[in-house]
Amino acid sequence: MTMRGPEPHDALTRWLQAEREMDDAGADSALLEMFESLPRLAPSAGFADRVLLQAAAPATVPVPAQSWLVWLFRSPGFRLALTSGVLAACISMFWLPRLVITLLGMATMNDLLELGVASMVGLSQWVGLASRVGEWFLTVLGALAVSLTSPAALKVTVGCLAISGISFVFLRELMTRDRSLRYVDFNR
């Protein structure tokens, strides 16, 4: 048996015993002895040399992985869809101008003016609706901001929330307490 100094378990036992007995001085000395018995941590041999070599090494630029665009263009399904789209666009060049001329011939200036006015009226109605909804939303947010910044209003809000939560729990309990088939009238 070799002598290596005090066992750390003895110091641990003395420290725990001193803590149980409320002996602060004894507990501190036992804890200090326990920490001193732990082995010292030191870096392995050559650690500083490896760090300095790594710091002096030129920085390597990571090669970016292939982007999703390259992968997309390499897929045969995308190539087929792209080719079909280009082919459809080329074929439509033959009949599209004739179609546009025919449609423009069917529409008069009065029809185009009516369409423009109806579009502007519809747009203004949507803007009006959006402004009313936005105003309501800002009013609600303002009320919430007041209730979250004022201590009195925050207390009232928390109180109302607590009352509604408790009420919900009691209501749920009342509704689910006596649910059984004996209350069901099977004669109907």
Q: Does any domain span residue 89?
A: yes
- Identify residue 93 by its one-letter amino acid code: M
> Hey, what are 71's tokens?
């992968």
Average pLDDT over residues 11-37: 88
- Residue-number span of the structural domain to which 91 is assigned: 67-106
Over residues 109-134, the pLDDT tens digits come to: 888 889 889 999 999 999 999 999 99
For residue 32, give Cα distances in angstroms to 14, 25, 27, 81: 11, 11, 9, 75
The pLDDT of residue 33 is above 60: yes
Output the CA torsion 131→134→138→141 (10° steps): 170
Over residues 59-84, the pLDDT tens digits come to: 776 666 667 777 788 889 989 999 99
Average pLDDT over residues 91-107: 82
Number of domains in the chain: 2
Identify the weakest region by mean pLDDT among 13-22, 130-139, 151-160, 179-188.
179-188
Q: Does any domain span residue 170?
A: no
Q: Does any domain span residue 1?
A: no
Average pLDDT over residues 97-107: 81
**Does residue 67 or residue 12 have the better pLDDT?**
12
Q: Does any domain span residue 135?
A: no
- Per-residue confidence (pLDDT) for residue 56, from 0 to 100: 79
Q: Does any domain span residue 16?
A: yes
